[in-house]
């Protein structure tokens, strides 16, 4: 579609919506207000495509859910859907090879899980199939647009700001609990349980610790932010998040082999944390309490395998634990078992292609851009070995960050190619200020 056709189409849509808003104002003020906001959003996006994706980033951390008839959605899901839709509709930049390959991996996973949608026809199955695609492909597009439009540093800062709000809230509640003699994990309102808190804070902490050069964040500020987020994880007592963060940081230290003092400090912090986690797990095993999280997980794993055996090839359907097909069934707290029961061997193969392939592709990206991207995806995959995987913010945020990194890489790569082309055109003996003037 040409630019002129696009402009005509957008103008027509905006005109129709404007007339509808005018008709609705006297009768349904709330609906009219929402429609007016939609018109404004479309207009702003047409002029500056990155606006809505940027505004969506901090909302990815909001887990509040709203009911819509028979289903409910989180603010995080709505923000992701709107941000991704805006990115797809208004962004005109050509995708990089890595970005295209990541989207092909998502397509492979979606095709692999489509078999269970056909084999198990019920509404939640279809809805979750679309949801999973948005959580990964939509998140990548959202992040890509932010990075490609030159707003990567601002985007990551907005995400850190949202994480700092959650961490501060967690710490305040945690300190209050400790003063009352309550040493239990912190749970915040609106579904922010300990593993939600730990996962989103751990993912965000990697932004502050890796602190890529293009983020333009002072080392002292990044250090304070990192340890504040880690303190929030500590009050949440999310063992999965601690392990995932530790694994990612160990990979970072082994790959970079730079800044030995900083590496020693983080390793000295990781080892005691892992020891504490292992000690807690060992105590649960030794207690023999069949109701603790360790033995409960074993029971859930056994139940999941029993359910999977009823339809091993295609699985019993996405979100089967919310149906009455298997009363008392629990969403398996393991990524592979979750996918295996829901979409069978075919779905599990697609999932492994998606996750392992994503890590491999991001690992090959220049570390200046790819290091943060690969670590957040690896952390999510690691955490998914000990907990449920397909959860709104916990899955989308890592892929948004990866998309931002790839967008920044593509933008800076274009700038470097432009500089080289200008240098070739003007001549190798041209002064730097001449080249700069030509760019301007």
- What are 236-272's pLDDT values in tens digits? 988 888 889 989 988 888 877 655 566 666 766 676 6
Mean pLDDT over residues 312-320, rounded? 92
Can you give the pLDDT at residue 210?
92
Pairwise CA distance, residues 240 & 301, whole Å? 17
Can you give the pLDDT at residue 377?
97
Q: Identify the residue with better confidence: 92 or 17.
A: 92
Can you give the pLDDT at residue 11?
66
Q: How confident is the model at residue 190 (pLDDT cuts 50, 70, 90)?
A: confident
Pairwise CA distance, residues 354 & 103, whole Å? 9
Q: Picking from 82-96, 212-226, 361-375, which range would have the lowest pLDDT averaged per residue?
A: 82-96
Distances (CA, A) of 56 to 4, 76, 361: 28, 8, 26
Give yes or no for residue 25 having a pLDDT over 50.
Answer: yes
Range of 18-27, 119-128, 298-307, 429-438 with top mean pLDDT = 119-128
Range of 10-14, 18-22, 112-116, 276-280 with top mean pLDDT = 112-116
Can you give the pLDDT at residue 227?
93
Mean pLDDT of the chain: 82
Q: Which residues contact 370 (CB under 8 A, 6 or more apart)?
A: 362, 363, 364, 405, 409
Can you give the pLDDT at residue 381?
94
Can you give the pLDDT at residue 230?
93
Give yes or no for residue 273 having a pLDDT over 90.
Answer: no
Give yes or no for residue 70 having a pLDDT over 50.
Answer: no
Can you give the pLDDT at residue 302?
85
Can you give the pLDDT at residue 39?
53
DSSP state of 134: I
Can you give the pLDDT at residue 289?
60
Pairwise CA distance, residues 360 & 390, whole Å? 21
Pairwise CA distance, residues 172 & 373, whole Å? 31
Q: Picking from 103-107, 205-209, 362-366, 433-437, which range would have the lowest pLDDT averaged per residue?
A: 433-437
pLDDT tens digit sequence for 368-401:
999 999 999 999 999 998 888 888 889 999 999 9
Give yes or no for residue 407 having a pLDDT over 70.
Answer: yes
Pairwise CA distance, residues 399 & 144, whole Å? 10
Count other C-beta atoms under 10 Å from residue 363's C-beta. 17
Q: How confident is the model at residue 280 (pLDDT cuts 50, 70, 90)?
A: low
Give yes or no for residue 1 having a pLDDT over 60.
Answer: no
Range of 179-193, 197-211, 384-398 with top mean pLDDT = 197-211
Pairwise CA distance, residues 376 & 245, whole Å? 9
Mean pLDDT over residues 210-215, rounded? 93
Mean pLDDT over residues 108-124, rounded? 94
Q: Identify the residue with better confidence: 94 or 285.
A: 94
Pairwise CA distance, residues 53 & 343, whole Å? 31
pLDDT > 70: percent of the chain: 73
Give yes or no for residue 439 having a pLDDT over 90.
Answer: no
Mean pLDDT over residues 83-98, rounded? 85
Q: 24 with 116: CB under 8 angstroms?
A: no
Q: Which residues contact 217 (CB under 8 A, 6 or more apart)?
A: 153, 157, 208, 211
Secondary-structure percent of the chain, ordered helix, strand, coil, rounded to 5? 75, 0, 20
Can you give the pLDDT at residue 175?
95
Q: How confident is the model at residue 231 (pLDDT cuts 50, 70, 90)?
A: very high
319: alpha, beta or left? (left if phi > 0; alpha if psi -120 to 50): left
Q: Picking from 79-83, 136-140, 147-151, 434-438, which range would have the lowest pLDDT averaged per residue?
A: 434-438
Give yes or no for residue 71 having a pLDDT over 60.
Answer: no
Q: How confident is the model at residue 434 (pLDDT cuts 50, 70, 90)?
A: very low
Can you give the pLDDT at residue 255?
79
């Amino acid at each position: 579609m040409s630019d002129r056709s696009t402009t005509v189409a957008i103008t027509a849509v905006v005109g129709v919506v404007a007339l509808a808003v005018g008709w609705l104002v006297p009768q349904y003020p709330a609906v009219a207000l929402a429609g007016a906001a939609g018109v404004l959003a479309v207009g702003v996006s047409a002029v500056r495509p990155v606006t809505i994706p940027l505004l969506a980033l901090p909302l990815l951390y909001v887990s509040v859910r709203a009911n819509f008839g028979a289903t409910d959605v989180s603010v995080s899901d709505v923000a992701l859907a709107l941000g991704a839709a805006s990115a797809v509709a208004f962004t005109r930049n050509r995708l990089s090879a890595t970005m295209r390959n990541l989207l092909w991996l998502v397509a492979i996973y979606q095709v692999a899980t489509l078999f269970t949608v056909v084999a198990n026809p019920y509404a939640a199955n279809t809805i979750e199939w679309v949801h999973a695609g948005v959580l990964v492909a939509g998140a990548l597009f959202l992040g890509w647009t932010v990075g490609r439009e030159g707003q990567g540093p601002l985007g990551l800062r907005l995400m850190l700001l949202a994480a700092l709000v959650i961490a501060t809230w967690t710490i305040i509640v945690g300190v209050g609990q400790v003063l009352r003699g309550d040493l239990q994990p912190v749970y915040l309102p609106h579904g922010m349980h300990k593993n939600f808190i730990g996962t989103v804070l751990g993912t965000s902490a990697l932004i502050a610790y890796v602190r890529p050069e293009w983020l333009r964040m002072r080392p002292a500020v990044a250090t304070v932010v990192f340890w504040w987020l880690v303190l929030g994880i500590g009050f949440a007592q999310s063992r999965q998040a601690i392990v995932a963060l530790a694994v990612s940081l160990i990979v970072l230290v082994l790959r970079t082999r730079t800044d030995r003092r900083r590496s020693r400090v983080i390793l000295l912090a990781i080892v005691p944390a892992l020891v504490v986690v292992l000690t807690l797990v060992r105590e649960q095993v030794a207690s023999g309490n069949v109701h603790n999280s360790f033995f409960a997980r074993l029971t859930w794993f056994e139940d999941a395998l029993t359910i999977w055996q009823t339809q091993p090839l295609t699985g019993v359907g996405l979100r089967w634990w919310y149906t009455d097909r298997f009363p008392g069934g629990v969403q398996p707290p393991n990524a592979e078992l979750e996918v295996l029961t829901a979409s069978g061997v075919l779905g599990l193969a697609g999932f492994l292609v998606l996750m392992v392939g994503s890590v491999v592709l991001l690992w090959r990206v220049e570390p200046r851009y790819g290091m943060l991207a690969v670590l957040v995806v690896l952390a999510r995959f690691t955490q998914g070995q000990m907990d449920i995987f397909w959860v709104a913010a916990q899955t989308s945020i890592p892929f948004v960050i990866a998309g931002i990194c790839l967008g920044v890489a593509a933008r800076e790569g274009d700038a470097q190619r432009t500089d080289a082309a200008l240098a070739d055109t003007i001549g190798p003996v041209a002064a730097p200020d001449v080249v700069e003037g030509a760019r301007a």
